[in-house]
Amino acid sequence: MKWASRAVPVISAAVAALAARDLLQRDHALLRNFPVIGRARYLLEAIGPELRQYIVAGNNEERPFTRDQRRWIYASAKKENNYFGFGTDNDIEYTPGYPIIKHRTFGRAVPPSSPTAGHEVELPCAKVLGAARGRPLAFRPGSVVNISGMSFGSLSGRAVEALNRGAALAGCLQNTGEGGLSPYHRNGGELVFQIGTAYFGCRDERGRFSLARLKDLIAGAPVRALEIKLSQGAKPSLGGLLPAAKVSAEIAATRGIAPGQDCVSPSRHAEFSDCDSLLDWVELLAAETGLPVGIKSAVGDLGFWDELTTLMRDTGRGVDFVNIDGGEGGTGAAPLIFTDSVSLPFQQGFTRVYRTFAEKDLHEQTVFIGAGKLGLPDNAVVAFALGCDMVNVGREAMLSIGCIQAQKCHTDTCPTGVATQNPWLTRGLDPTLKAARAANYIRTLRRDLLKVAEACGMEHPGLIDTDTVEILDGRTASTPLREVYGYRPGWGLPSATDRTEIVRLMTAEAPQGGSATPSPTAAG
């Protein structure tokens, strides 16, 4: 008990000092009025999200990802049992806007029924990227699920490495994000190189775009396509700032900037200023590199899309792919007003853009990619029905490598080492182990998409049409997805030629299930 008699005066003195400090400070009225105990409020505010997550929130309450959604991702990533028992706890009957997928009793595809069936099946894109415009390096992406752009800088090097190795294992593409192509992106996974407004990785000493540097960069890395970033759902039309403290020598070298100085991304591109000059630049990049070239954008005013598609139709220039990011999408850091209120949510934004392309008959020549919580099978199925050929997964991929949705990505204090440059915090993230998790998650998502397609009688999720999904209006009524978004028959599907080819590929690849042979008395 001697230690206690010594400790009591020390603790009392510390509390008294803290109380004196609280009483004398002027910044916080709460602490002036309630010295010491007022601090409990700040503590609760700091750990509130975690407390709600583990103790208070229900299975479907949290955002961006509910507990059920995270549980499904974590279990899929660890190849654990990701089934749910006893039936849905979603309020299907009374939730307007709830999508229902309509299975078919007799369909062309006969799904095998073992729970692991389809896990190893490849699920390639139903369109060949760049083929419609004759790009020399056109290719069929091997996976309809790919990793969304998240820069080295906003993610740790180890997280980027885990995702790149995971992409290699799962046979999918990893988008570099706008922060350049780092050594962590060179671990076997194939890449889409994103070109942002600051031209990181392909800029000269004065920050101007350098075609020579771009060509050098892609000559030494497995880059399969180029993506010009126009905007991102969580922060459209905003530039970015990586504070000096985070600009390590490694990040500086990857981006082509000076270390230890604030790193600013402008809000607009310098290489083009309207649709006409954008299309010229797209064609220049494609001609110089041979790669398919596309754009990533959030959706706000439709004038841009009208003008772009009119020029594509009338001049023969064009983008090979369009990647639409929903306003519900993620970011490393953005002002609240932008994350909450600027740019349309995925379904509304995507369908407006798709319609603009389809009205000008450009939809079958363009590969459509979607992002915005599409790493969950139910959301992804609706996206495919609406015309997506592929989905990109950002935060879901982060969850698969250990993110716990602490939402501190902007503070450099990410507790799981995913979104921080702090060496102490990143050392806990083992890239090899987490790569396997990312790959397991991606394979499971693909498997679920294939299973749902087969339940609807189709061989591939890209063949699910807008009449296969209905949107519930409440307990007693529902509207076909086609009517909800004003689609004409056939919109949302690849061309007849592409459909035939993907069915051929899938039936050669996917194991078909079956039953016992029919009895002698069976009809037909």
Measured CA distances, 263 to 126, 266, 338 (Å):
39, 10, 21
**Strand ranges of the sheet holding 478-480, from the earlier edge strand across to the other edge:** 99-101, 469-472, 478-480
What the block records as the tokens of 121 is: 């099946």
Backbone φ and ψ for 472, nearest 5 degrees, come out as -70, 135
By CB under 6 A, name the one of 73, 198, 393, 409 that touches ligand SF4.
409
The Cβ-side half-sphere exposure at 15, using a 13 Å CA radius, reads 9
The answer to the question of residue 331 lying near ligand SF4 (CB under 6 A) is no
Q: Which is nearer to ligand FMN, 441 or 491 (CB)?
A: 441
The closest alpha carbon to 203, from 238, 179, 235, 227, belongs to 179
Closest distance to ligand SF4 from the beta carbon of 396 (Å):
11
Distance CA 264, CA 178 (A): 12
**240 or 457, CB closer to ligand FMN?**
240
From 409, 350, 320, select the one nearest 131 (Cα to Cα).
320
- Closest approach, Cβ 237 to ligand SF4, in A, equals 23
Residue 154, contacted partner among ligand FMN, ligand SF4, none, CB below 5-8 A by kind: ligand FMN
The listed partner (ligand FMN, ligand SF4, none) that binds 157, CB under 5 to 8 Å by sort, is none
Identify which of residues 70 and 229 has a Cβ nearer to ligand SF4 in the complex.
70
Which residue number, 225 or 463, has a Cβ lying nearer to ligand FMN? 225
Q: Which amino acid is at 109?
A: A
Residue 51 host element (H or E): helix 39-51
Q: Which helix (H) or strand (E) holds 96?
A: none
Q: Which partner, ligand FMN, ligand SF4, none, binds residue 418 by CB below 5 to 8 Å per kind?
A: ligand SF4
With CB cut-offs between 5 and 8 Å by kind, which of ligand SF4, ligand FMN, none does residue 405 bind?
A: ligand SF4
- Partner touching 35 among ligand FMN, ligand SF4, none, CB below 5 to 8 Å by kind: none
Residue 461 contacts which entry, ligand FMN, ligand SF4, none (Cβ below 5-8 A, type-dependent): none
Residues in the interface with ligand SF4 (CB under 6 A) total 13
Q: Which residue in 76, 143, 265, 416 binds ligand SF4 (CB under 6 A)?
A: 416
CA 214 to chain centre: 25
Which neighbouring-strand residues pair with 228? 195, 295
Q: Length of the chain in residues, anyone?
A: 524
151 binds, among ligand FMN, ligand SF4, none (CB under 5 to 8 A by kind): ligand FMN
What is the contact surface with ligand FMN in residues (CB under 6 A)? 148-151, 154-155, 177-179, 194, 229, 232-233, 296, 325, 329-332, 371-373, 375, 393-396, 409, 419
CA Rg value for the chain: 25
Q: How far is the CB of 375 from ligand FMN (least distance, A)?
A: 5
Q: Tell me how far, at minimum, the Cβ of 53 lies from ligand FMN, in Å.
A: 18
Question: Does 418 participate in binding ligand SF4 (rule CB under 6 A)?
Answer: yes
- Which one of 307-315, 380-388, 409-417, 460-468 is the stretch in contact with ligand SF4 (CB under 6 A)? 409-417
373 binds, among ligand FMN, ligand SF4, none (CB under 5 to 8 A by kind): ligand FMN
Q: Give the Cα separation of 371 and 233 in Å (integer).
A: 9
Interface residue with ligand SF4 among 271, 408, 473, 505 (CB under 6 A) is 408
Q: How far from chain centre, in Å, is Cα 40?
A: 37
Site for ligand SF4 in 348-407 (CB under 6 A): 398, 403-407
Nearer to ligand FMN, 232 or 347 (CB): 232
> Which of residues 31, 195, 414, 439 is near ligand SF4 by CB under 6 A?
414
- CB of residue 473 to ligand FMN, shortest distance in Å: 26
Stretch that binds ligand SF4, among 256-264, 372-380, 416-424, 431-439 (CB under 6 A): 416-424
Q: Which does 404 bind (CB under 5 to 8 A by kind): ligand FMN, ligand SF4, none?
A: ligand SF4
Supply the minimum distance, in Å, between the C-beta of residue 418 and ligand SF4.
Answer: 4
Q: How far apart are CA 9 and CA 445, in angstroms?
A: 59
Instruction: List the helix and strand counts (H, then E) for the chain.
Output: 17, 13
- How far is residue 7's CA from residue 3's CA, in Å, rounded to a whole number? 6
106: exposed, middle or buried (C-beta count within 10 Å: 0-12, 13-18, 19+)? exposed
- Closer by beta carbon to ligand FMN, 111 or else 292: 292
Q: Which of 312, 419, 452, 458 binds ligand SF4 (CB under 6 A)?
A: 419
Tell me the closest approach of the beta carbon of residue 184 to ligand SF4, in angstroms.
Answer: 16
Pairing mode of beta strands 173-175, 190-195: parallel
506 forms part of the interface with ligand SF4 (CB under 6 A): no
Contacts 24+ apart (CB under 8 A), 204-210: 208/270, 209/270, 209/271
332, two tokens: 């490393």
Alpha-carbon span 40 to 25, nearest angstrom: 17
CA distance 98 to 478: 9
Positions in the binding site for ligand SF4 (CB under 6 A): 398, 403-409, 414-416, 418-419
